[in-house]
Chains A and B, each alone.
Chain A
Amino acid sequence: MPTQKITMPQLGESVTEGTISTWLVNVGDKVNKYDPIAEVMTDKVNAEVPSSFTGVIKELTAEEGETVAVGDLICYIATENAESEESNTEIQRAASEDKNNSAVKGNSDKSESMKKRYSPAVLRLSQENNIDLNEVTGSGRGGRITRKDLEKIIASGEMPKAATFQEANNHAASGVSIEQTAESSHPETQTGDIEIPVKGVRKVIAQNMVKSTQEIPHAWMTVEVDVTDLVSYRNRIKNHFKETEGFGLTFFSFFIKAVSQALKEYPQLNSMWAGDKIIQKKDINLSIAVAKENELFVPVIKNADEKTIKAIARDIYNLAKKARSGQLTSEDMQGGTFTVNNTGSFGSISSMGVINHPQAAILQVESIVKRPVIINDMFAARDIVNLSLSLDHRILDGLICGRFLSLVKEILESMNEETIQLY
């Protein structure tokens, strides 16, 4: 029986590796073509790898939790229709020999077979100029990156930086990469303790958090917002809304709306740190944090500023549902420009969010609490919510963030029966 290789598929444009989270098959299992054989995690998204062949799993070359580069072998599969496959390969071999004989070496022109074959000149230039070769498109045969390709990039000055390389250095210098920390301060496991291996989404979260807190100089500020009118309006119509629309009208939708309006006025907060420059994003795509057991996902509400409160409520409903059933795609997670985190759903009234790298800020919407406040020298029972903003102090300063928060506050406090437009 001929043996075929199954390799790590390309699961997204910029995705270069995937982690096998679970093998869905064992050695000896019979699989049909397109049957899922493994769950793979890239970035933060789970995907299933389908079998490219019908046959019997012969060997799993990658272990669960192992990170494999795109195109690298993950398992061998023995295919069944031995004779026809063999004759096929023979014909292919004969054909390829013919091509070799005619001395045409360009038979792999369209493939990417040479993409990772670097000439000494290319390696030297990439190292001298700190260029990430994974980000370079090759013009040579088989997608090979040529010296000229790099010389053009260098001349243009737009170099895809080898970020990981730099960070690795930074981490090494400060001595606090997560692996190193783990090694240097290894707590011992006592009898009865449970060991949970750090892999998959947990590992990605850990890496991202380390990256965010190490790289971004955080600063914080909190405002108190009186949302009494909003609360009474929403409580009055929520049942009717659910009946007619089929999904709930959460407070969070109103906050998203208010934040996206305010971001429109203060685009400074809707920006990203890019080393030697700050990129102010045109689109307002709000990342929202969705927790699922021990996993955390950050799907994105695209162009939130252009959406009605109803549309936002539906997006939140759909994304949360997808996250809980593990169906989020990388498309759902991409493009976020600012994060709004619904910490209030856990009952929190104050928190300091970690910024979602490379965004500029994150806003924590805390729990709405009924509190006595003084209005016109009289006590009144009001619905109060804290909004806590974490900001990247490289990009933003207190003044602009204060104005932004004031505007969010103003928008929310003026939301009442007359002003709110759900549709």
Chain B
Amino acid sequence: MPIMSYIQAITTALREEMRRDGNVFVLGEDVGKKGGVFRATDGLYEEFGEERVLDTPLAESAIAGVGIGAAMYGMRPVAEMQFADFIMPAVNQIISEAAKMRYRSNNDWSAPITIRAPYGGGVHGALYHSQSVEAIFANQPGLKIVMPSTPYDAKGLLKAAIRDNDPVLFFEHKRAYRLLKGDVPSEDYVLPIGKSDVKREGEDITVITYGLCVHFALQAAEKLAEDGIDAHILDLRTVYPLDQESIIEAARKTGKVLLITEDNKEGSIIGEVAAIIAEHCLFDLDAPIQRLAGPDVPSMPYAPPMEKFFMMNPDKVEKAMRDLAEY
């Protein structure tokens, strides 16, 4: 099984899907000749040509709108937002059109578009290259939001997103692109959207998180294991709609739950996770549900000490996990 970086897994998934299905095409800023600013579409232009790998103007609204139109017409577009921070001009298209298409047309039409966007901080990207935007879309029935944490999940879930018959937002952590490496099977496989995944079995505390924070939690868990603290780690993978059953099961397992996101704390995905647990697990809870998240400030600062203050890291996660274990 080849070892791939997170971004290689993305590129592989795109290439395999484009080879498998002639309706699959990619569009976005600099995705063609340049192969993407992060090189996610590297080599696709050469292999599939300008008809299927479209360089677009700096107009996210158009990228989304063209994609939605093509999807409704039977194509399988994969639109790239260069940075998740730039998705804002496309929000109207995504929420008002893509999310509601099937419902509005009484099932006559659908918009099977995948919108990929690199999110997250820790790369000195400052305000417009560091944000987490998933919460904005996470109460829009009709949308699905997938945020993989490993190269293996990235490939399997991106393929699932492309094959899904409804719009999927696919957020990739830009720091994970070259930081995370792992085994990725060369054969074709698909992972289920809407299903979370236990990344580590444990008995003492439950950590529920997603994206790059899964990686931090796993690192912290290894350290805590040396002190006899055994963490159970659930990776949400799909943050909307949430896999309620698995969340409840994981929370019940230990009764001590830590929720982690890199996003601003208030109104984030993990607030909804906390609500699900509170609704279903009261008599299994042994500690207050804990949230570890970014501060409620507008965005990630540029100055390195300030970025460090905002950004999630293994030390912060370890401290919060230990604190909960000792409660």
Contacts and interface: CB of A to CB of B under 8 A. Distances in A.
A358 interface: no
Contact of B284 (A105, A120, A144): A120
B204 A148 contact: yes
Interface in B270-305: 282-287
Contacts of A269: none
A119 B287 CA distance: 7
Contact of B327 (A120, A121, A123, A141): A141
Contacts of B326: 106, 140-141
B204 A124 contact: no
A122 B256 CA distance: 12
Interface in A104-124: 105-106, 119-124
Contacts of B327: 140-141, 144, 146
Nearest to A150: B286
B255 interface: yes
B286 A124 contact: no
Nearest to A145: B286
A382 interface: no
Interface of B is mostly: loop
Interface residues of A, number: 14
Interface string A138-157: 00110010111000000000
Interface in B183-212: 203-204
Contacts of A120: 282-286
A185 B77 CA distance: 87
A147 B323 contact: no
Contacts of A144: 327
A343 B53 CA distance: 106
A139 to B, nearest CB: 9
A141 B326 CA distance: 6
Interface size class of B (residues with CB under 8 A): 10 to 19
Contacts of A121: 255, 283-286
B100 to A, nearest CB: 40
Contact of A119 (B203, B204, B255, B323): B255
A147 B283 contact: no
Contacts of A106: 323, 326
Contacts of A123: 283
A153 to B, nearest CB: 14
A168 B29 CA distance: 76
B231 to A, nearest CB: 13
A120 B203 CA distance: 18
A122 B286 contact: yes
Nearest to B286: A147
Contacts of B285: 119-121
Contacts of A105: 323
A266 B300 CA distance: 80
Interface in A366-380: none
Contacts of B286: 119-122, 146-148
Nearest to A139: B326
Nearest to A122: B286
A124 B255 contact: no
Interface in A9-62: none
- A106, A119, A123 — which one has the most chain B CB atoms within 10 A of its CB? A119
Contacts of A141: 326-327
A162 B204 CA distance: 27
B283 A124 contact: yes
A124 B281 CA distance: 12
- B255, B282, B323 — which one has the most chain A CB atoms within 10 A of its CB? B255
A144 B255 CA distance: 14
B315 to A, nearest CB: 13
Contacts of B204: 148
A108 B213 CA distance: 30
Nearest to B319: A103
Contacts of B203: 148
Contacts of B254: 147
A136 to B, nearest CB: 14
B225 to A, nearest CB: 16
A106 B323 CA distance: 8
A120 B289 CA distance: 12
A122 B282 CA distance: 11
A148 B206 CA distance: 13
Interface in B243-278: 254-256
A188 to B, nearest CB: 49
Interface string A119-137: 1111110000000000000
A146 to B, nearest CB: 6
A148 B323 CA distance: 16
Contacts of B255: 119, 121, 147
Contacts of A147: 254-256, 284, 286
A147 B282 CA distance: 13
A125 to B, nearest CB: 9
Interface of B: 203-204, 254-256, 282-287, 323, 326-327
30 contacts: A105-B323, A119-B255, A119-B285, A119-B286, A119-B287, A120-B282, A120-B283, A120-B284, A120-B285, A120-B286, A121-B255, A121-B283, A121-B285, A121-B286, A123-B283, A124-B284, A140-B326, A140-B327, A141-B326, A141-B327, A144-B327, A146-B327, A147-B254, A147-B255, A147-B256, A147-B284, A147-B286, A148-B203, A148-B204, A148-B286
- Rank and list the top 3 A-B pairs by shortest CB-CB distance, nearest first: A147-B286, A121-B286, A119-B286
Given A119-B287, A121-B255, A124-B284, 6 more contacts: A119-B255, A120-B286, A141-B327, A146-B327, A147-B254, A147-B284
